[in-house]
Structure 1
């Protein structure tokens, strides 16, 4: 729904989006809805893979997804706890795997292939999938995990000798009478499992139901639209793109290339992308790229960004490349909610807002004692969507911390509503940082630095950069007589953390002491401010 109104109850101090009735029977799963859509106009192009140079019609995608669904049925995947692990990039057959899972009522647990092997192992030991799907380049990461779980490995893209693959499954015959599985109350059945992390960094598996809220706010889409999202299916934005394409019959454009301004400009112009959802840092990169020209972006009608804020100057610069107002929109969502919370169509006059609430969303802003705050009152954002949530898979304690008995999600985000009922997010979730779209927690890096014998104390924090996000930086207190230099700390982190997004891109300072609160705890904000005042000494220290 475009430009959804937001109402404020001055007595209860609760903001609400429009109340809309769902259009689908609540026994239907999203898979059943997509199955019906793909049967229409089977000759229309449904998916284009820029990387693989392939095109699939709706009929071909439907057949492939049905074969995957039939394969799962043959493997006796009948319970909601029968799970498929999906750790793959955006290539030709990823959608068929995901849709096949939806057709069978089988949750897929999507994990980013760029994560460390230990994190991948921890995540999959939570959900214990019976099948693990990965690209050939990631087989070494997954084979030992599969062996420990007794799981089958299926290669999505590429080939591994003696290992079964999705293309082989798609060569099998299909019964002409195949129909997706039916369930009573299908709307509440778990559809997918995405990944998150708690404040301790322990991975959590976030269940996503078959709620229509995942796609209903994008009902403006049609078969004339070309959709693209650079994220893989482990992120909510990737899942939204997958589901909305299936429900509304758009053309789904995929590429396994990581986001870069040059690549996006190329595919946008070549394939005439009309709808895209990307990270806020991607917008900053695109707006400040010398190659960006209005002509290359002329097809864009909906450019959504999520994950944080952009500078006002960046938004204005990005808008100058777009053909019309209301195309560039800030979106605020929550993985646990399984939907977008708000949309800002007015990034011109309210560039710092995340907009007004989506339909059937309610929000409270509470103070430290849990009391609801009025207009312009700054506090924690609590959300309610009126939809049951199955919680974090296998983690009832964390589930109870996220959602209270009344169904309110405690986001940890701090913000307020202005007099026009526009929501503003003031601070990010406590401690969680994101660099180049990848989430991390400071303590993960602190634990590595603390392994250096000469380190007495360490505090890691993020230095926000518009195009990259939160670059990790560290203030380090050394033991007496130590001669360690800042560049040695940086090198130690590079040598002991395999993923580059957790490296110290913000630099290192050697300090005499860390700022602390009255109770003796390190004050991360104060340490960061002191770091900025001194200026990054990095490897010159």
Structure 2
């Protein structure tokens, strides 16, 4: 009997939502006007859905009153703040396209992002931690210091006209966020609502720059339909209701915070609880306990930091039941600790990519724990997935292939980059993710690595994820990353960077011997290096290409 093909389709009796971001908020605020919508502890902000909706409408009207026109881009370069959430809903309500700019960007990256999508306006704080945003912007556009608000004409960022500052302290050439409310006259609100009613859910709503490991970042362009529905079905998988309070310490500029966090909440009338501008383990634990949060999001490194915090046992986390662990492979032992020690019995694993809004697979609370710790669940509603080989043929169930996805969630494309869009999305509408996966007979998917990360050692295919999961069972290993390095004889050799538990010591030979007893010889790391941290993006994604480069330099 021939095995079935690796193709799954998320058949569902729940229809897609045919709403824009603004229409969604209108409906939810009308249904739950007195329910808590937003809590931002660091800013002492508490809003009901009625209050939040009114604030979003005022800002949307003000943006149009400034002269911003439908389809124009407005960037936000800021950490997690109440204003970020307001703008996330106000910009698309006004028919504008919100551009998420990574708070870690420096001058060169900022210039590229603003010019790539021709940002007309930029919202930013004066500073955050070591990033002096306004100073960097003035270095890029010194004309700002001489311009009247709204009249910026910069040589290096010619499209930029408006700069809106999130601080009360004024600065030349900028407007203050607090001044926007005065622009929201009755006439401006009327014009905004008229425009909002004319929007289509297939209009672009959001541009997110993908943190590619090679070449310039690409602006994945997402529609209202993409992000509203993905947020809705993420929330459905978590079993969210208006009674839930979700702690969101992951960054908003990324899909994890903005879609899996904010939109998952709003589509269900749940409360968004923001612990701080950036991730801090202690602040997150304090917030969960004080706000009686029922859900908590994070990448594995965040959960590890929380679990290993010296004050972890001091906090009552018994209100927790759900949340999402995603963003990078989730070690099995970490997942077990989250379930057992943080009371998150219904925690889910989600898998996706920015270009697919982002989630394609997710576990659900009914999945057995073994399934939840060993897979990324089953395909999301209304999404198709197939796994293909190098010839583009669908592989049989149980075999490794590249994951391709199709459906409502696939982006419009990369902003003004048809060549790279065509490389990623084929003529049949399939988004080629570059991820290697296996789908079993029950439809559960396991991500085994990246096409680019797969190690080919002497003709043998080696999947780093398998070795990483095994090394997590070593009692001295806290974190590990495995990758390939060039080798004259074998083409590539396996290298492991190991972060040991506090107080533990180990040798390269000890780690290699541990592997030799249980793994095929070609999977045993040829190189082992002990480190205290890994190079990462601000969203917690490990940058293996930087590790490869470091090892290549070391090995000459």
The bucket for the TM-score relative to the shorter chain is: 0.7 to 0.9
2:484–2:492 Cα contact (<8 Å) kept:
no
Residues 17 and 294 of structure 1: CA distance in aligned 2, closer, same or farther (over 3 Å): farther
Task: Name the SS for the 1:115 alignment partner.
Answer: coil
1:35–1:103 Cα contact (<8 Å) kept:
no
Q: Please tell me whether residue 193 in structure 1 is matched to residue 224 in structure 2.
A: no
Question: Aligned partners of 1:304, 1:527: CA distance in 2, in Å?
Answer: 27
Aligned-residue CA RMSD (Å): 3.4
- The 10-residue stretch of structure 1 (466-475 or 99-108) with the greater mean CA deviation from structure 2: 466-475
Question: Aligned partners of 1:249, 1:473: CA distance in 2, in Å?
Answer: 42
Specify the alignment match of 2:175 in structure 1: 164
Q: Please tell me whether residue 254 in structure 1 is matched to residue 262 in structure 2.
A: no
Specify the alignment match of 2:217 in structure 1: 203
Residues 13 and 132 of structure 1: CA distance in aligned 2, closer, same or farther (over 3 Å): same
- Offset, 1:430: 2.3
Task: Name the SS for the 2:312 alignment partner.
Answer: coil
Matches within 5 A, 1:8-157: 13-20=6-13, 22=15, 24=17, 26=18, 28-80=19-71, 82-137=72-127, 138-145=133-140, 147=154, 148-150=156-158, 151=160, 152-157=162-167
Matches within 5 A, 1:143-292: 143-145=138-140, 147=154, 148-150=156-158, 151=160, 152-157=162-167, 159-162=169-172, 163-175=174-186, 177=190, 179=193, 181-182=195-196, 186-211=200-225, 212-217=228-233, 218-219=235-236, 220-240=239-259, 241-292=261-312
Unpaired segments of 5 or more residues in structure 1?
1-8, 433-460, 476-513
1:143–1:153 Cα contact (<8 Å) kept:
no
Matches within 5 A, 1:425-444: 425-428=447-450, 430=452
1:309–1:352 Cα contact (<8 Å) kept:
no
Question: Aligned partners of 1:397, 1:68: CA distance in 2, in Å?
Answer: 36
Question: Aligned partners of 1:119, 1:516: CA distance in 2, in Å?
Answer: 36
Specify the alignment match of 1:303 in structure 2: 323
2:65–2:183 Cα contact (<8 Å) kept:
no
1:335 to 337, 354, 369: 354
Question: Aligned partners of 1:224, 1:474: CA distance in 2, in Å?
Answer: 47
2:442 to 417, 420, 423: 420
Question: Aligned partners of 2:197, 2:494: CA distance in 1, in Å?
Answer: 50
Question: Aligned partners of 2:6, 2:333: CA distance in 1, in Å?
Answer: 33
Q: Please tell me whether residue 354 in structure 1 is matched to residue 390 in structure 2.
A: no
Per-residue CA deviations over 1:114-169 (Å, capped at 9, x if unaligned) read 12221222122110110011111111223344533242111124534232111111
Task: Name the SS for the 1:136 alignment partner.
Answer: coil
1:20–1:360 Cα contact (<8 Å) kept:
no
Residues 77 and 306 of structure 1: CA distance in aligned 2, closer, same or farther (over 3 Å): same
Question: Aligned partners of 1:19, 1:321: CA distance in 2, in Å?
Answer: 34
Relative to the length of structure 1, the TM-score reads 0.76
2:21–2:89 Cα contact (<8 Å) kept:
no
Residues 108 and 516 of structure 1: CA distance in aligned 2, closer, same or farther (over 3 Å): farther
Question: Aligned partners of 2:194, 2:343: CA distance in 1, in Å?
Answer: 42
2:62–2:181 Cα contact (<8 Å) kept:
no
Matches within 5 A, 1:371-520: 371-386=393-408, 389-428=411-450, 430=452, 514-516=486-488
Task: Name the SS for the 2:175 alignment partner.
Answer: coil
Question: Aligned partners of 1:377, 1:472: CA distance in 2, in Å?
Answer: 22
1:35–1:180 Cα contact (<8 Å) kept:
no
- Offset, 1:424: 0.3
1:104–1:180 Cα contact (<8 Å) kept:
no
Per-residue CA deviations over 1:281-335 (Å, capped at 9, x if unaligned) read 222333333433496221112121112223222222222124363x221111121
1:65–1:100 Cα contact (<8 Å) kept:
yes
2:286–2:315 Cα contact (<8 Å) kept:
no
- The 10-residue stretch of structure 1 (102-111 or 115-124) with the greater mean CA deviation from structure 2: 115-124
Question: Aligned partners of 2:480, 2:527: CA distance in 1, in Å?
Answer: 19
Task: Name the SS for the 1:281 alignment partner.
Answer: helix
Unpaired segments of 5 or more residues in structure 2?
128-132, 142-153, 455-463, 498-521, 532-549
1:293–1:321 Cα contact (<8 Å) kept:
no
Residues 158 and 431 of structure 1: CA distance in aligned 2, closer, same or farther (over 3 Å): farther
2:22–2:89 Cα contact (<8 Å) kept:
yes
Specify the alignment match of 2:510 in structure 1: none
Question: Aligned partners of 1:76, 1:22: CA distance in 2, in Å?
Answer: 37
Per-residue CA deviations over 1:389-414 (Å, capped at 9, x if unaligned) read 32000111111111101011100000
Question: Aligned partners of 1:373, 1:278: CA distance in 2, in Å?
Answer: 33
- Offset, 1:78: 2.9
Question: Aligned partners of 1:534, 1:322: CA distance in 2, in Å?
Answer: 35
